[in-house]
Amino acid sequence: MKIDNALPENDQTSLSTLRSLQRNSLKGLFATLDPPSLETLDGEYDAELLQQGNRFQTQIVNFIFSVKKNWIGKAFEAQSEDRGVGYNCFREGEQGDVYSDLPMSIYVGTSQMDGRPSVILDYGKTTRLIGRMMSGEVRRYSAGVLLGFGTIGPVTGRKHRFQRSVPFALVGPVRPLQIISFRATISSADKEVRNSF
């Protein structure tokens, strides 16, 4: 999905720059950025996948993120200076219902990518099995634009090499937090995070 809402000129320029960069350049840029403070993140953000490598890799990742539902954003809520919660926003088809899923814990921690501080998106204790193979991190690129990388794949062992880092942009916050519904099967860990909103 492309972010197509009206943006301040500075943020539109920032988003255009991110769209123009290849995956390796996005990784290099990410290494120069700092994490935002959690309290400045509160709200829902529109999301867009960026270049994933060559055209084939980009098409495959975009297909995976839209095969059953379109990933359209993330939301964050700080609960202290260094901890918070969040969720992902999805739309069914191009014009279908919007709903919330894949809750996450967020905290300021050490990046797996470069060892520097990042806002870590931790799905390990809050989602079903597939979510436990996901993690992410974000840093601020401009006032209203965040650059993030999601990691999908095995976290340890020999299959660790099959992990894939997925660059994305977040713009916002564009709306206050508004959980519409969680459609996932709710485990006790899910309930703990979801009830914290």
Nearest alpha-carbon partner for 193 in 101, 57, 81, 97? 101
- The stretches in the chain having pLDDT less than 70 are 1, 53-68, 125-133, 153-164, 179-197
The pLDDT of residue 171 is: 95
For 94, the 3-state DSSP assignment is: coil
DSSP assigned state of 1:
-
The pLDDT of residue 124 is: 75
Within 10 angstroms of residue 25's Cβ, the number of other Cβ atoms is 13
Task: Look up residue 77 and give its two tokens.
Answer: 């809520």
